[in-house]
Amino acid sequence: MFPTDQPITLNSVTITGPHQPRQEEILTPDALDFLATLHRRFNGRRAELLTRREEMRQRISEGWTPDFLPETRTIREDDSWRVAPLAPGLKDRRVEITGPVDRKMTINAMNSGAKCWLADFEDSSSPSWSNMLNGQVNLRDAIRRQIDFTSPEGKEYKLGGVQLVDRPTIIVRPRGWHLDEDHLLVDGEPMAGALVDFGLYFFHNAKELLRRGVGPYFYLPKTENHLEARLWNCIFVVAQDLLGIPQGTVRATVLIETITAAFEMEEILYQLRNHAAGLNAGRWDYIFSIIKNFRDRGDQFVLPDRADVTMTAPMMRSYTDQLVRACHKRGASAIGGMAAFIPNRRDPEANENALAKVRDDKTREAGDGFDGSWVAHPDLVPVAMEVFDAVLGETRNQIRTNRREDVVPDAAGLLAVSETPGSITEAGVRMNIEVGIRYVESWLRGNGAAAIHNLMEDAATAEISRSQIWQWINAGSEVGLTAGGTRTATHEWMQELMDEEFARIERSEGDRFDNALEVFAGSALAEEYPDFLTLPAYRKFLSANAPSRQELAGTPA
């Protein structure tokens, strides 16, 4: 049995998190040994690649502009190579539902009628120890069809159907490379959250999934270049060998959600080619990445209000067109972006207007050649399904039928930030502040998928919100005032607006709004821009009285 009040070390892994129900089923000695092996083999390379990210960002700050890599030109120009054939359960991905791995969401996703479910340990999950560990329990139960749930109000949730093959294919999204898991230490070092999420899911479920006719499939977030994709490929090879699973069983879809990765899409597929399933247009993180990387490069790279940055903006059209072309050229699936609308049955008119926008968005994606797309709510599955059914019919995807050979790789198009229509307004600033603070407060309470103003907000949209404020201040942008006229964005004025919006928030006992304001303001108004909002937020999860890592290393079992 695990102790409930102190760290314990098993197979050289120190567990510092508070005991969770059914923890013994997940943190088994063999599973921990597997995690330790992955950490020792790959954490050093992970650290090198994180340092490389910093160096690349510094180069951009100094005036260097990303472009297609001359050293990988032969990969792009070699028309002969293709990724592995589409795996069982990944041939038809016309609608994918996304969401965190809590128990209720797991059941709702599996009953949604979508073709796939992105089971998310990343942007729609806040990485509390209980969320991460219980998420593994929920996935394990769902795969074995042993999952049910009763809400505090007494509502029961159960799986429908009789066969796992009738349910959506599960695709797990682990955390990004930048996030640590401070509750699991190997040799005194925190493990990468990505290795924990991947390793525990793979170790406990890969063989069971194969027995059921599918496989362990993953979405890879926050990838910045093909070298990071190569690291994942090495991890897949070693993990499959350790468990005696045939090479090529793992399949991965990479989210193209950073501006640097957009210049290396074919190279990313090439590095993962024996394990590649496709690419996804992670639109919100992509916008965040553009702001983040070019935040101090002047007006040419300043975007208008978040609401004005739509998928019809020239830089976004270039990004999605080139993604579909890269995928279909190499035999991979191209998956579109998120429809974040949350239906509100109490407002039919607003509901229908929002659903019309979802239909337009999915119609554009299907027409552009995407093989599927994301929705955030089960009620949107039929809407998106109808659109893709009309385009695909009985065909499972568009890989062969819509090659997008009309698209030419275009570096200037990817960087056409200044051509984005729209303006910076006081209303846009206030919306960024309100949504950002509300989201961080929800995140700190353990809920990383927050419904705010009928939209499903996740970490990526909060990152945009705080990054725009930082960039507008840094660039001295002119902001259109609600009362008329303009005013220059300054640190002092943004602080005033933040105080005003914070004062309007209705408080309740036990909320985390004070902490949320501290985190959001600390990142939006900081002199030095923090790379990720979730890093200071994660530290709020950790107890101020916790033992140091040095004290925890080597704690006996």
pLDDT digits over 58-92, tens only? 999 999 999 999 999 999 999 999 999 999 999 99
- pTM of the entire structure? 0.95
Cβ atoms 215, 235 nearer than 8 A: no
In the block, which residue shows the tokens 């899409």? 265
- 5: confidence class by pLDDT, cuts 50, 70, 90: low
- 546: confidence class by pLDDT, cuts 50, 70, 90: very low
Q: Please give the DSSP secondary-structure letter assigned to residue 187.
A: T
Mean pLDDT in residue range 360-371: 97
Which active-site residues does the annotation give?
173, 458
- 540: confidence class by pLDDT, cuts 50, 70, 90: confident
- 555: confidence class by pLDDT, cuts 50, 70, 90: very low
9-57 confidence digits (pLDDT tens): 988 899 999 999 999 999 999 999 999 999 999 999 999 999 999 999 9
Residue 457 burial by Cβ neighbours in a 10 Å radius (0-12, 13-18, 19+): buried
Mean pLDDT in residue range 104-116: 96
Q: How far apart are CA 240 and CA 246, in angstroms?
A: 7
The predicted pLDDT at position 1 comes to 44
310-347 confidence digits (pLDDT tens): 999 999 999 999 999 999 999 999 999 998 888 887 88
DSSP 361-413: HHHHHHHHT-SEEEESSGGGHHHHHHHHHHHHTT-S-STTT---TT----HHH
pLDDT at 165 exceeding the cut of 70: no
Cβ atoms 8, 15 nearer than 8 A: yes
